[in-house]
Structure 1
Amino acid sequence: MVFSVWLALFLAAWAISISPGPGAVASMAAGLRYGMWPGAALVCGLIVGYTIQFIISVVGVAAVIKTSPLLFEIIKWVGVSYLIYLGIKQYRSPVSMIRVDVSNMPSATAGKLFMQGFLVDITNPKAAIFLLAVIPQFVDPTGPLMLQYVLICLTLCAVDLVIMLGYVALAANLVKLLKNPHITARINKIFGVCFILAALSMAFMNV
């Protein structure tokens, strides 16, 4: 993988991970109730779940590369279209406050928090669909596939780890921000533009 492709992957990973979703909400809830280090156990569970989702997605992508290069190209463009759709949907989404409920959090043991984080990510079907849209954009079928998969996985997981830990550490301040409808509306638009720009950069690489 050439550096320019990896850099595009790195920037796309930030746009993907920073958008508030189930993992971000769970991280903020853990940070609010337990603090940094117990919350970090939940984040580790999120990352393990994310890695398994990645492996499952890679199996599908690898099968397509092996059986039909044309289908692989089609999937790449479908993935770009899906990301643009997500960006437009995020940009136009109505203002709604993100609710962080700490009442359902388990007792503060590292094992229970880890398992909760794992279940949050592994049971999120949108994560697998999203990965199926993203992974093909950065894979060169003519290059060493395993090395590319490992690099993509490490990049996505490392960025997600940093951002989720950030959500844990800054939970109180972030929750206050996300309860402000004006700020939420701006955040939606920013994330929407980020998704669209990421998709357009992927499309440019595919040309």
Structure 2
Amino acid sequence: MSAHTYMLFIGASVVLCLVPGPDMLFLLGRSIAQGRSAGLSAAFGINLGAYVHLLAAASGLSALVLASATAFSVVKCAGAAYLIYLGWGALRTKGGLVFPEGGGAKEVALRRIFWQGFLSDVLNPKVALFYLALLPQFLSAHDSDPMKHLLALGVTGNMVGIATSVIYVFIASQLTNVLRRSPTVSTWITKAMGALFAGLGVRLATEKL
């Protein structure tokens, strides 16, 4: 793989990371509703999920799932159901999603957000399609070590992804810091986030990928 091809891939990864998707909207929702710590927890959870997709693509598991209509539908429906579940939970919350104080409760809440981000990414079949459709385009048919280069591209894409996510988190949390100080506004932000998650779930369930 040439340096030129590698730089082209980095550029393509940056462009794709700027396109809004369920993962980005999830971390932005957490950043806006709960602040920087929540947004970063979501971002790192999503990034860990991306490595699961990379390993699945490298092992051929993703190809098997996407080739099976039943398996694909199961993954898609599971992802949609999970997003709707998160949305319903936020809609039912009374008041804003303020972190509890003391006794390590905040750390527990952040870990929960981390694993929510992880599951949101792992159960998103669009991410699997990304690895199977994009990465091979930057590999040569005569590549002497395609697996090595596939993994290198995947890790690079994930690094671009986490860098982009962190920037988004800092910007979103900073811009909405004043809004979260108002209990009324915080409540409405939380409800809007819940509606967003539920809407994404419904869209994923009904969308043909």
**TM-score for both structures, normalised by structure 1:** 0.59
Contact 2:43–2:165, Cα closer than 8 Å, also in 1? yes
Contact 1:30–1:102, Cα closer than 8 Å, also in 2? no
1:62 CA displacement = 11
SS at match of 1:20: coil
Contact 1:106–1:113, Cα closer than 8 Å, also in 2? no
Change (3 A) 1:164 1:143: same
* Paired letter, 1:148: H
SS at match of 2:60: helix
Runs (5+) with no aligned partner, structure 2: 65-86, 92-96, 100-105, 177-209
1:150 CA displacement = 2.6
Distance 1:134 1:36 in 2: 31
Equivalence map 1:42-191=2 (5 Å):
42-60=42-60, 103=90, 109-141=109-141, 142-171=143-172, 173=175
SS at match of 1:134: helix
State the Cα deviation string for residues 9-41 of structure 1 (Å, max 9, x = none): 000101111100011111111111222233211
Residue in structure 1 matched with residue 21 of structure 2 by the alignment: 21
* C-alpha RMSD of the superposition: 3.0
Contact 1:27–1:165, Cα closer than 8 Å, also in 2? no
1:165 CA displacement = 1.4
Distance 1:101 1:169 in 2: 26
Aligned length: 139
Residue in structure 2 matched with residue 188 of structure 1 by the alignment: none
Change (3 A) 1:162 1:101: farther
* Paired letter, 2:137: Q
Residue in structure 1 matched with residue 8 of structure 2 by the alignment: 8
Moved over 6 A (4+): 61-64
Distance 1:168 1:62 in 2: 29
Runs (5+) with no aligned partner, structure 1: 65-99, 175-207
Distance 1:62 1:51 in 2: 12
SS at match of 1:103: helix
Distance 1:38 1:11 in 2: 28
* Paired letter, 2:159: A
